[in-house]
Amino acid sequence: SELLTISGLSAGTEDKPILHDIDLSVGAGETHVLMGPNGAGKSTLGHVIMGDPVYKVSSGTVTFDGQDVTDLAPDRRSLAGIFLSYQAPVEVPGVPLYSFLRTICQMRPELKTTARKFRQRVGQIMAELDMDESFLTRELNVGFSGGEKKKVEMLQLLLLRPKLAILDETDSGLDVDALSIVSKGIEAYRRDCDGALLMITHNTRILERLNVDRTHVMVRGHLVAEGPASMIDDIDRNGFGAYEDGLAASQ
Ligand code: ADP
Ligand code: MG
Ligand code: MG
């Protein structure tokens, strides 16, 4: 049975339609990849699944774990088990990373624990990710590089253990160190949490190490193709031209 089912979803900002009649399903524990040219609407879809109030749904539904979440607030979706890593994570001055992590975990009945056990768990995950513990006292994301923000997201992912993680790649690209931590984080998530993954990425190096179940291609707000992992190699070689032409011909 499906974990996430998006059906007939159209959405956009107050004055601009962005997504058109999207159908997409992700089963429990599956790994899906969403690809498409810049500006296609990939990040918007991630934000709409998470319930970002910037975007309005004009038709269609988002169902998660048997519940219609189309009108739920983002915090309720988060509690239901959806995690979105932002392409541009917010900076929160005055809040040390450790306090932030402790707070978001204490809000979840299934993750509530003693301060000592929590600190141990954070230490374990950081060791596994080769992350420097000095991060913990820094203000959340303030002045962090793109790569450092991604590392913090991996730490959040492994602490929160969501049923579905939507990982949106940074535009800037990651250095080798950050790339390695993101890969380790994703592997640990797949192994320890058995969660589903929707990867929004161009980085085929990260994808090489994943067992991808399905690939989706988005062009100008439309999902125009869906296929097996081998589609990624095809896109690597040939780009999105054929998909763009196909959509133009059908309109
Ligand atoms: P992608 O992630 O595929 O590069 P986006 O989802 O970021 O694409 O953007 C898709 C389109 O929607 C772009 O034209 C972008 O400018 C527009 N868009 C996205 N979010 C907003 C917003 N908050 N306000 C106005 N336009 C937006
Ligand atoms: Mg897009
Ligand atoms: Mg994007």
Separation of alpha carbons 68 and 28, rounded Å: 16
Of 58, 117, 84, the residue nearest 4 (C-alpha):
84
> Which residues is 34 bridged to in the sheet?
200, 216
| pLDDT at residue 151, as a whole number | 87
The bridge status of strand 196-200 relative to strand 31-35 is: parallel
Tokens representing residue 35 in the block:
């690809």
Low-confidence ranges of the chain (pLDDT < 70): 87-88, 170-172
> Which residues is 10 bridged to in the sheet?
59
* CB 99 within 8 Å of CB 150: no
Could you identify the atom of ligand 1 that is nearest to the CA of residue 200?
Answer: 2
pTM: 0.93
Separation of alpha carbons 150 and 174, rounded Å: 9
Separation of alpha carbons 161 and 181, rounded Å: 17
Separation of alpha carbons 154 and 158, rounded Å: 6
- Most informative mutation of 44, 86, 200, 203 for ligand 1 (most atoms within 8 A of CB): 44
Q: How far is the CA of 150 from the centre of ligand 3 (A)?
A: 15
Separation of alpha carbons 52 and 46, rounded Å: 9
Which residues does ligand 1 sit against, CB inside 6 Å?
13, 16, 18, 36, 38-44, 54
Domains with residue ranges and CATH for the chain: 2-250 (3.40.50.300)
| pLDDT at residue 170, as a whole number | 63
Q: How far is the CA of 201 from the centre of ligand 3 (A)?
A: 9
Q: How far is the CA of 31 from the centre of ligand 2 (A)?
A: 18
Separation of alpha carbons 1 and 124, rounded Å: 33
* CB 59 within 8 Å of CB 9: yes
* CB 84 within 8 Å of CB 168: yes
Phi, psi of 250, rounded to the nearest 5 degrees:
-85, -5
Q: Tell me: the pLDDT tens digits for 138-192? A: 998 888 887 888 888 999 999 999 999 999 876 567 788 888 888 889 999 999 9
| pLDDT at residue 88, as a whole number | 67
Residue with tokens 């950081």: 126
